[in-house]
Every structure is written in C-alpha cells, then in structure tokens.
Amino acid sequence: MQQTVCITGASKGLGLELVKLFYAHRYRVFPLVRTNAAANDLLKEMPTCHPIVADVTEDTCTDILKAALYAHTNVLDILINNAGIPGVAYQIAQVTTQETSELFNVHSLGVIRTVQAALSFLERSSVPRIINISSRLASLSKTASGEFYEGGFSYSYRMAKAAQNMLTLCLDQELRSRGIHVSAVHPGKLNTKCASHDANMDPKEAAEKIFAWCQAAGLHNSGYYVEPGMGKLPW
Ligand SMILES: NC(=O)c1ccc[n+]([C@@H]2O[C@H](COP(=O)([O-])OP(=O)(O)OC[C@H]3O[C@@H](n4cnc5c(N)ncnc54)[C@H](OP(=O)(O)O)[C@@H]3O)[C@@H](O)[C@H]2O)c1
C-alpha cells in the first residue's frame, strides 16, 4: 500500500526538499504550507500531492490538518515537524519576550498542534513515525560543554528547540508502547533562510540523509536524538 507522509514547513528549504524526495519515492505526500501561492507552486511541480494551508502557530491548525487528512486518508505513516523560524537576539540585553514567545509557538506548541491532529491517523499505521526536526543547538549537554561558547546563536531559538526536544522525549515515553516511533533529528548546518553563520550543507543532501535514516530506523531507536549519517547527539 502507498505510504503517507505529512511534512510541515514545505514551501522552501529542508521541508521542500523532503516533499520532493518522498514524492519521488511514490509516497502520498501532505505538505503543510502557509499560503495558497505556496500550495499552488507545489501542485505545479507535484500534481498528485495534497497541500494543506495552515499556520502551525494557530490553534485552528489542528482542525485544518485533521480535516485535510481525513478528506484523503485514514492512515498517516510519518509526520515530519519541520516548520521553523530563526531568532535574532544573541545577547540577553536584546532578547524580547515577543520573539521568544513566537519561537516557542512555532517550534514547540506547533508540534503539539500537529501531533494532536495526526495522532488517530498515525495509530492506524503499521509503521507510524513522528520526526521532529530539532537542531544541535537544542542540546543542553553540548551547550553545557561549551560547544557553542563563541556565540552567534539566538537565545529564543536554542530555548524553543530545547523545549521541542523535551516534547519529543515526552511523546516517546507515551507513544512508544503504542508502536509509534518518535525522534528528534538535527538535519545538519543547512544553507537555507534559517542558516547559521557556519552553514555547510545543501538542504537536498540533508533530506536524502533523513530519508535514508527514516527507512532504516526501527522502534528500538525511538526516543533518539540523531544527525542522520553522523550518529546520536547527547540530549
Ligand atoms: N538551516 C539550518 O542550518 C538548520 C539547522 C538545524 C535545524 N534546522 C531546522 O530545520 C527546519 C527547516 O528549516 P530550514 O533551514 O529549511 O528553514 P527555511 O528555509 O526558512 O524554511 C522554514 C519553513 O518553515 C515554514 N514556517 C515557518 N513558520 C511557520 C508557521 N508558523 N507555520 C507553518 N510553516 C511555517 C516556512 O514557511 P514560509 O515560506 O511561509 O515562511 C518554511 O517553509 C526548521 O525547524 C529549522 O529550525 C535548520
């Protein structure tokens, strides 16, 4: 049977490359984008994909996503929470609660909304999987060991991704016994709009590594925090 995947943040960058790759591998793809224009662009290139227009920072996203899936399928095999935005404040004096709230909303609350929408569909899959696109910058261990000491990384981004990592672990604890594989994936340092100053990888290459890892990973490595092709990261 044709496998199904829903990918958020599908208009550009890593999300778009993941959509193209899963589509090329004959998955039934549900890309989530924020605008009708982005949905139409996807349909021009991939006429049989099913774009969903929603914003993961809004509570309405849950019902929109649920209804859009329900219109086409009972089953979802993979949910990839990829939508994200960078932060701009690198020093405490510049941090604003507004930016921090926005980042938490996208990276952490957004994942709650999409998982709540997708859960009953995932439960009907024989190989269900939730992949949260995290970041190396989410790692408390790496941060504590001084790996990012040189700065140049935003407070809100690191805090929001760390919260998303905790959500990944909470989801794994609840859902693994129900057969749902949950993981946090650092995709690499990508040359995209979200790029850090030390970016060195094309998003297409990152998508290929994630796809290959996804095919190989089993329930025994649910609850992992990984960089596909490189190995595990410390939480
Ligand atoms: N770039 C890196 O080096 C790097 C490293 C580690 C992790 N990551 C993570 O990888 C993921 C993809 O990032 P990227 O580098 O591919 O960035 P990107 O090119 O800027 O793409 C981000 C995507 O997220 C979408 N998005 C943003 N806010 C959204 C919202 N509220 N609702 C729905 N969609 C939303 C954007 O849609 P619009 O077109 O509508 O803005 C866009 O499609 C992010 O979670 C990022 O944190 C990136």
Q: What is the C-alpha to C-alpha distance for residues 131 and 118, in angstroms, rounded to an integer?
A: 12
Tell whether the torsion through CA atoms of 170, 29, 179 and 216 is positive or negative: negative
Q: Is the CB of 56 under 6 A from ligand 1?
A: yes
Contacts of 63 (CB under 8 A, 6+ apart): 117
Q: Look at 149 and 89; give whichever has higher pLDDT.
A: 89
How do residues 124-152 score in pLDDT, each as one tens digit?
A: 999 999 999 999 999 999 999 999 887 78
Distance, CA 103 to ligand 1 centroid (Å)?
11
Distance, CA 126 to ligand 1 centroid (Å)?
29
How do residues 179-231 score in pLDDT, each as one tens digit?
A: 999 999 999 999 987 777 788 899 999 999 999 999 987 778 889 999 999 99
Distance, CA 131 to ligand 1 centroid (Å)?
14
Residue minimizing CA distance to atom 19 of ligand 1: 13
SS3 state of residue 81:
strand
Domains within the chain, CATH numbers bracketed:
4-232 (3.40.50.720)
